[in-house]
Every structure is written in structure tokens, then in C-alpha cells.
A and B are shown apart, each in its own frame.
Chain A
């Protein structure tokens, strides 16, 4: 029972990280901007990350507010899987620019992978903390 007292904390952490990822994917952590106005693959990877980050943020918010331990545990498991998706999107599921010196590969990919890895760890911790008994 004592453990469950803290089971909302990871959700709050995820909410913050996901908001950073969502805002970042549109601004300071975003993909390369093309001078000629066309969109490369990295742009769509950025869009996908934006969407996933918003879903994570929403799940985090719900998990933080919902008191029921089982519901919370379910949400954490869902966030765990969503975080894996977030880690796999840039470069693995959606390709980025070919040149390693491009912004999408120097900034967006590493920062998003770090953010989603942290969310993964937080979701795992949350799932453990909200186990019953």
C-alpha cells in the first residue's frame, strides 16, 4: 500500500517529458527545415513524434489524476509500449536525412530517443509501483 502512494509521480514526470517532446518536436528539437520549402522524410518523422508525444502527455495526465490502481497500471503499460514506438520512430520506422550532420540526426533523433527512453523508464517504474498489494 505504501508503494501505491507514489504511483502518480511517474505519470507526472511522463506528462512533463512528453510536453517537452511535443513542443520540442515543433521547435527547438525539430527536424531540418528545407530552404526550398519541400518536406523530407525527417519532417514526417517529426510530425509522428509530435503526435506520439501528445498521446503520451494525455495518458500521463489521465494516469496522474485517476485514483484506481489497476487503471493506472494499465495506462502505464500502454505508455511503456508507446514509448518504444517513440524510440523507434526517428531513423528506424521513419527514415531521416542521409547526412549525419543534419539537424534531424544531430539534434532531433538523440534528444527524442533520450526523452522517450526516460518516459519508458518512468512508465516501467509506474507500472511496478501501481501493482496491487
Chain B
């Protein structure tokens, strides 16, 4: 029997105690790792939403419902079909202080071949667009030609495939980087393609509020305000100048989203902290109880000539092994429930949710493991420290 083997022997021959400690530290690691990944993903989602909403003002048709459906479309990927006259684009451009105005045209496909659900098709004008175009350029070099589409990362086709929308064959030229928002499940094309698709939809009996005879139909106009102009004033100027449309400041939308996001992330943080403190307290109590229960065992080791330092390292190794095992288990359990269900979390939160890149996840996992081991070691050191100051003779006599 070697004292260096003793910690492992202790762990193996007291499986109940070992499992309880491992479970406790697993809970600690699970809550810390899971909580941080969720909060990080939400923050990353918000950032990506902000960068995708690089406009100051969005003009949408005035019915209240469209504003709601616009937001739902953006965040949850539900399809939206709302239209206003293309005149509004010209009118918007006339407003003083408007630097850029980019129109978008929405169409909800009935059913694409690949999918059993409706897909949102978004038509953009590559010439004037400053919202989607930079994003497309990140992922594919090619210009959007006639009957070309690029797809969001959640659409189950790849570049080179063909997508059939209203019996029209569209050539998929690229797939976009994920945003963690509803934009990931949309398909993007230019206005010419879009008008063809609208006509095809009409031929299939899908009617819209305004006939497609009007070539200048738009669903939303993204506005960039010239520097030095007050966004609020420009916003109300657009509001007054356009017809049957309402201008929304994107900031208010992002504030909305970030408001509910910070609410949820605060809840998650508090919950994580609560679980963390709770398991830390339980851990401390558990170690205090275990050390108390093993008082005689430790005193015996001292009696046989184990120095305080050596006894300390036996206890430390035992705890470190336990908490490392628990930490790994906790991180693994959290991973199994978080990463495969990313999309489910995104859709049930109704908020942009974008999992951090692998190196950051690994770093978080490592930090969690280190934290758990340090916590466990501190807890056991605290408990063992109280004991080792006492002369072993006294402990063994039970006084």
C-alpha cells in the first residue's frame, strides 16, 4: 500500500460517497457551463441582429399587424406577406436627410420542393441594398443574376442545387453565414427574379393586396440617415411623406429585443448564481461532514507518521479527482442538452440565439472545470484545515 494510491483506493471503495460528491460537482459545473453558454449565445445573437439591421429606420406597411409580423419574420422566421406601393420608395428618397433607401419585397412560398413548410423569399435590389448585400458578399462572390437565389443557413439546400418555388426553377448560388435569427431560414433573390416569382404565384391563384401589375411593389424599405441629421426628425418626416406606411426606428426594435434579452439573460445569470451558491454551500457542508466522519481515519494517518502536508495532499487529490470527474460530467451533460437543441432554444426563446464558436466553448468548458476543481479543493481544504491543527492523540481518544 502506497500513500499515493490511497486517495484512489478511498474513492473506489466508497462508491456511494464518491458518486454523491461527483453528482454535486456535476451540478455545479452543469449550471455554470450551461448558464454561460446560453447567455453568451444570446449576446452573440443580439450582436448579429444589430449588424444585420444596419439601417436607422425601416418603413413597413401601416397596418399594425404588419409591424408585428415584420418583427416575427425577423426574429422567428415566420413568413410575412405585406405590401405597399413602390411610390413610397421614391417618396422616402425625397425626404431630406435620407442617405440610402433599400427596398425589400417579401413572398411566402407555398411549399418548396425541399420543404414541407412555407419559406420566406426576400427580394432585394443589389444596386441599392446595404442590408443583405454585404452579408451575401461575405459568403459568396457571385452576383445575384436572373433566377439566382442565395439561401439562409437553415434552408436544407446547398450551392449548386436547384430550388423550385411556384414551379419556377431557381439556381442556388450560395449559402449564408448563420445569424441566429429568422433570416437564416429565408431565401434571397433580386427584384427581377422576385417579380417573376410573384407572377408565378399569382398564376397559382395566390393574390396579394395590391396587384403585381404595379411593378414597384415593396414590402419594406430600409433607410440609412445621412450623418448630422436627427434620426427622430427624419423618421417623422418619412412618416408624413409616405402613404399607408409607418416608419419604425430600428433602434427601438433592437432595444425591444435587447430588453427582453437582458431580462432573460439576467434570469439565467441569477439562476446560475443561485444554483452555484447552493451547490457550493452543499459542497461545504458535505466536505465538513465527510471530514468529520473521517476524523478518526485522518487522525490515524497522522498517528502512523503522515505529515500534515502529506495528509493535506491526500485529501486534495481525492477532492480534485472527484470534482474533475464531476466537472467533466456536468459539462458533458450540459453539452448534450444545449448544442443539439440550439434551434429549439432559438425558436422557443423567440430571440436571436447564436452558439459561440468552438474555441470559445472549449475555453468556457476549461474555465468551468478549473473553477469546479478550485471550488472543491477550497471546500475540502477548509474542512481539513480545521482538523489538522488538532493533535491526533486527542482526536483518537474522542475528546
Q: Do A and B bind each other?
A: yes
A residues whose Cβ falls under 8 Å from a Cβ of B? 32, 34, 38, 40, 42, 97-102, 105-107, 109-111, 113-114
- Cβ A106 vs Cβ B344 within 8 A: yes
Asked if A105 contacts B115 (CB within 8 A), the reply is no
Contact B116 A100 (CB under 8 A): no
- What are the residues of chain B within 8 A of A100 when measuring CB–CB? 153-156, 184-185, 343
Judge whether B341 and A32 touch: CB under 8 Å.
no
Please indicate the chain A residues that have their CB under 8 angstroms from the CB of B155 in the complex. Answer: 98-100
Most buried by B among A32, A38, A97, A102: A102
3 pairs of A and B residues whose beta carbons are closest in the complex: A98-B156, A110-B340, A98-B114
Of chain B, the residue at the smallest CB distance from A91 is B156
Q: Tell me which of B115, B346, B347 contacts A97 (CB under 8 A).
A: B115
Name the contact of A105 in the complex, choosing from B112, B336, B343 (C-beta under 8 A): B343
- Contact check, B154 vs A101: say whether CB atoms are below 8 A apart: yes
Residues of the B chain whose Cβ atoms lie less than 8 Å from the Cβ of A106: 341, 343-344, 347
- Confirm or deny: B77 has a beta carbon within 8 angstroms of a beta carbon on chain A: yes
A residues less than 8 Å from B184 (CB atoms): 100-101
Is A32 a contact partner of B185 (Cβ separation < 8 A)? no
The residue on A at minimum CB distance from B116 is A40
Q: Is the CB of B156 within 8 A of A107?
A: no
A32 neighbours in B (Cβ, 8 Å) = 116-117
A98 touches B341 (CB 8 A): no
B119 contacts which chain A residues (CB < 8 A)? 99
SS class of chain B's interface: helix, strand, loop or mixed? loop
Contact residues in A for B114 (Cβ distance below 8 Å): 98-99
Please count how many residues in chain B sit with their CB below 8 Å of the partner chain's CB atoms: 21
B276 to chain A, nearest CB (A): 26
> Is the pair B336, A97 in contact by a Cβ cutoff of 8 Å?
no
Taking CB atoms, residues of chain B closer than 8 Å to A110 are 340-341, 344
Q: Do B340 and A113 touch across chains, with their CB atoms under 8 A apart? A: yes
Q: In the complex, what residues of B have CB within 8 A of residue A99's CB?
A: 114-115, 117, 119, 154-156, 185
Q: What residue in chain B is nearest A105 (Cβ atoms)?
A: B343
Contacting residues, chain B, for A111 (C-beta < 8 A)? 340-341
Is the pair A98, B112 in contact by a Cβ cutoff of 8 Å? yes
Could you name 26 residue pairs across A and B whose Cβ atoms are closer than 8 Å? A32-B116, A32-B117, A34-B116, A40-B116, A42-B116, A97-B116, A97-B117, A98-B115, A98-B156, A98-B157, A99-B114, A99-B117, A99-B154, A101-B77, A102-B116, A102-B117, A105-B343, A106-B341, A106-B344, A107-B341, A107-B344, A109-B340, A110-B344, A111-B341, A114-B336, A114-B340
Interface string of B205-230 (1 = CB under 8 A from A): 00000000000000000000000000
A93 smallest CB distance to B (angstroms): 16
Residues of A within 8 A of B185 (CB): 99-101
B272-304 CB mask vs A (1 if < 8 Å, else 0) is 000000000000000000000000000000000
Of B155, B336, B343, most buried by chain A (CB within 10 Å of CB) is: B343
Bound-complex Cα distance A13 to B336 (A):
18
A40 to B116, CA, bound (A): 7
Question: What sequence of 0s and 1s flags, for each residue 143-175 of chain B, a beta carbon within 8 Å of any chain A beta carbon?
Answer: 000000000011111000000000000000000
| Cα–Cα, bound, A34→B347 (Å) | 18
Q: How far is the CB of A38 from chain B (nearest CB, A)?
A: 8
Q: Enumerate chain B residues within 8 angstroms of A40, measured Cβ to Cβ.
A: 116
The residue on B at minimum CB distance from A104 is B116
- Residues in A with CB closer than 8 Å to B344 are 106-107, 110
Contact between A97 and B340 (Cβ–Cβ < 8 Å)? no
Report the bound CA distance from A3 to B287 in whole Å.
31
CA of A114 to CA of B117 in the docked complex: distance in angstroms? 26
Residues from chain B with a CB closer than 8 A to the CB of A38 are 116
A110 to B116, CA, bound (A): 20
| Known pairs A97-B115, A100-B154 / 4 extra A-B pairs, C-beta < 8 Å | A99-B119, A99-B185, A101-B77, A102-B116
CB-nearest residue of chain A to B76: A101
Residue among A32, A42, A99, A109 with the highest chain B CB neighbour number at 10 A: A99
Which chain B positions have C-beta within 8 A of A113? 340
Task: Report the bound CA distance from A5 to B299 in whole Å.
Answer: 37
Docked Cα-Cα span, A9 to B119, in Å, equals 47
Residue of B nearest to A114 (CB): B336
Residues of B within 8 A of A97 (CB): 115-117, 156
Distance to closest chain A CB from B222 (angstroms): 24
Among A98, A110, A111, A114, find the residue whose CB has the most chain B CB atoms closer than 10 A. A98
B 174-185 to A, binary, CB cutoff 8 A, 1 in contact else 0: 000000000011
Q: Please, how many angstroms separate the alpha-carbon atoms of A40 and B112 in the complex?
A: 12
Distance (whole angstroms) from the CB of B182 to the closest CB of chain A? 8
